Structure 1
C-alpha cells in the first residue's frame, strides 16, 4: 500500500480535530507498530499533540503494564476487551448476589449513556457504581478516560458493559488504504452497534451492491507496482472500494461483513458470517468461532470451547440467533479446546482470526460433520 506523507498527516489532523485525546494523556501501545491502526492512533496522534506513550511488553504482561503505567487512553482490538469481559463474567458467576448488583449498575449506566435514564437509575449509580465499577476499572489502571477499538468487529454487548461502568468504549473503522481511520464513534454520540461517523475530511457512500466507498485526502495512491489491483480498489473518481458491506443511517456507518466472506448456502441463501459469529460469541461457552457454509446445505460452527456436548452447544448457539432469519441456524459444531493464537498461526498480529487457516486445519472434522448430516 502506497501512503504518502500527506495521506498520513491528513488522517492524523482529522483525528486530532476530534479532540478526544489531550496533551496530558498517557497512551498504552499494545498493537504492532507495523499496523497502521497503532501507527496512526497510538504513535503519530500522541506525537502530534505532545502526549506520552508507554509501550506494553506483551499481551501476557498487559495486566501488569496497565497497573504500572495507568494509561488514560488505549487503542486496542476488541479481543483484548472481550477476554477482560469473559474473565469478569467468570468471576461474577461464582456470586449470584454480586452478579445481580453488577448487572443492575451496568443496565442503569447504559440507560444514562443512551439518555434514557430515570430517577431510579440515578439513585442506583449514586449508591453503587463506585463500589461496583471501581475495582473493575482499577484493573485497567484506574485512570482510563476512553478506549478506541478497531481492527475487527466489536460485540455491542461488550461496549455496553464498559459504558455501563462509566468507561467510554468507542468502536472505529478503517483500513490501511485509508491511513487508516475512516470513522469512529464519539463519546457524546456513541452508538456501539455502529462504527460511528466518518472523519470530517472523509466522504463515504454505499455502492449499488452494498459496498462501502470512501474518498478523501488520506486515501492511498495505490498498490506498489500493481496497477491492476490499484484500478480495482480506486476508481476514476477517487473512491476507495473497501470490500465491506455496510449501511449508513443518521450519518453513522454500520458494517455488515466482508464482500468476499459472504457465505452462499447450497439453497442460495446468503449471509455475512461476521454478524452471526459475533452473536454466537456473546455466549461465554464459545471463546472463538468461525462459521462454515459456502455451498453447503447448512451451517457448521468451528469453535474453541471447553464444552463437549455438541447438541447442547448447537442449542446455545441457536439461542443467540433468534433474531436472525430462520435459515441462519447452526446444525453442527466442530470443537477444539486449544485457543487460536498468533503463535499457532490462526490469528493475525492484530488478533483477527485467519478464516482460511482455521478451515484448512479442521478440514477433516468439517467434512466428517457434513457427511454425517445435521443435528436438529
Structure 2
C-alpha cells in the first residue's frame, strides 16, 4: 500500500522546505521537490555500493538535522539500510567514535580543526622519540599522497610506522571508518592531508542547500585533497566566464519560498535550461571540481586589488597558535585579521604565526594589522550550528576594533 501511494506522488511536488545557514545574509527557505531527493539517492547509490559496507554498517550523525547536509545524508543512508546512531553532542564525539566504531561519518571543517588540535596536544605530551615517530609517519604519509614515491627502505619504514603510529590514531576514530566525509565549507588541503597521511579516509565534498545539497564528492578510489571530486551522476556543471560554478539537473531547487527576487538571481534560464548560479568560484582539475572562493566574499582593497579571504583564513587557521580567523580589508589600505588564539598562546607566538603566514602570501595579501578577539560561537551569533563562521556578522560586530587597527 505504501509503495503504491509513493508511486502516485508527482516528482515535482514539494518534499522539503529547508533554510540556508545564513553565512551570506538572512536565511532563505529552499524549496526542494521529490525529484531532487530521488536524484540525490540515485547519484550516491554507486558510491555506497562500491564502499562494500557490511550488513551492520553504522553511520554516526552529530550535525544538526536542520542543516541540509545532515538532513539529506541521514535519510539517504537510512534508505540503504544503514544503522543511524545520533550523537549526544560534539563534545562527546571523541568517546562515541571509539564506542560506536562507525563506518561512515560526515563532518564540517571546524571539527577537523578541533580534532587535529587535540591529536597534536596529545603528541606534544609524548616522549621526544615518540614525537619523532609521529612526525616521520606524517611526512611519509604525505609523500604517499603527493609524491615523490617512497623508496624500498622508506616503504619498509612506512609499514612499521603504520603499526606503531597510524593504527593508534585510527583507533581513536573507531578503527572501521570507510568514509569520513567533509562538507558545508571548504576543507583546507593541509588539514585534510594531516588526517589522510594518518590513513583516515577523509573525503571532501561540495554542495549547497539549493542543490539538495550534494553536487560533487571525492571517493576513496579517486581522492584528490585539492579538489571536491567529480559531479554526481545527473549533475551538469560548467564554469562561467567569470569563474562562477553553475549547475543544472533534477537535484536543483524550485526556488526560494516567497522570495522571487532571490530566486531570479539564483535560477537563470539559458538556452531553454534552468541553471543554478552557486555564487562559488571554481575550476576543473581533470574530471574533478576545485572550489577557490566565494564570489561575493572577494575583498577589494583601497588600491583596487582583489584578495581572496578564504585562502588567507585557511593559512592562518593551519597555525597551531590560531583557532579561528577572519580577515578584512574591503575599501581599506591593506588586509587586517581578527584572530582567536589557541588557549595559552602568548602575543609573541601569535605574531610569529602571522609572520609565517605572510611569508606564504603575495604583497597585496599580506596581513598588515591583527587583533585578538573572543571566540566565534553559535551563542554570540558568529557561528552557524554547523560551525561555519558568519564572516559578515564577525566584521560587523568588530567594526570598531577594525577602525582602531586602521587608525
Q: TM-score, normalised by structure 2?
A: 0.86
**1-structure distance, mates of 2:334, 2:312:** 14
Deviation, structure 1 residue 119 = 1.8
For 2:123, the equivalent position in structure 1 comes to 92
The answer to whether the 8 A contact 1:318-1:329 is kept is no
For 2:138, the equivalent position in structure 1 comes to 106
Matched, 1:189 2:227: no
Matched, 1:121 2:121: no
User: Which among 265, 268, 276 is matched to residue 312 of structure 2?
Assistant: 276
User: Which among 2, 14, 24 is matched to residue 43 of structure 2?
Assistant: 14
Deviation per residue, 1:286-325 (Å, 9 max, x gap): 1000001000001111010143426x53442242243432
Deviation per residue, 1:83-103 (Å, 9 max, x gap): 110111122234443222112
The answer to whether the 8 A contact 1:314-1:332 is kept is no
Matched, 1:334 2:371: yes
Deviation, structure 1 residue 255 = 0.9
Matched, 1:33 2:46: no
The answer to whether the 8 A contact 1:109-1:121 is kept is no
User: Which among 253, 263, 272 is matched to residue 289 of structure 2?
Assistant: 253
Structure 1 SS opposite 2:32: coil
Deviation, structure 1 residue 24 = 3.5
Deviation per residue, 1:309-362 (Å, 9 max, x gap): 26x5344224224343221101111103x3222122211011001112211222
The answer to whether the 8 A contact 2:227-2:285 is kept is no
Deviates more, 1:117-126 or 1:345-354: 117-126
Structure 1 segment 1-376 matched on structure 2, within 5 A: 1-19=30-48, 21=51, 22=53, 23-41=55-73, 43-94=74-125, 95-114=127-146, 116-236=149-269, 237-305=273-341, 306=343, 307-309=345-347, 313-336=350-373, 338-371=374-407
**2-structure distance, mates of 1:202, 1:99:** 45
Q: 1:348 to 1:35 in 2, by over 3 A?
A: same
Deviation, structure 1 residue 218 = 0.5
**2-structure distance, mates of 1:162, 1:127:** 18
**2-structure distance, mates of 1:171, 1:321:** 27
Alignment gaps of 5+ in structure 2: 1-29
CA RMSD of aligned residues (A): 1.7
For 1:374, the equivalent position in structure 2 comes to none
**1-structure distance, mates of 2:357, 2:387:** 23
The answer to whether the 8 A contact 2:177-2:201 is kept is no
Deviation, structure 1 residue 45 = 2.1
Structure 2 SS opposite 1:344: coil
**2-structure distance, mates of 1:96, 1:67:** 27
The answer to whether the 8 A contact 1:233-1:242 is kept is yes
Structure 2 SS opposite 1:187: coil
Alignment gaps of 5+ in structure 1: 372-376
The answer to whether the 8 A contact 1:280-1:321 is kept is no
Structure 1 SS opposite 2:337: strand
How many residue pairs align between the two structures? 368
Deviation, structure 1 residue 66 = 1.6
The answer to whether the 8 A contact 2:307-2:364 is kept is no
Deviation, structure 1 residue 223 = 1.2
For 2:9, the equivalent position in structure 1 comes to none
Structure 2 SS opposite 1:343: coil
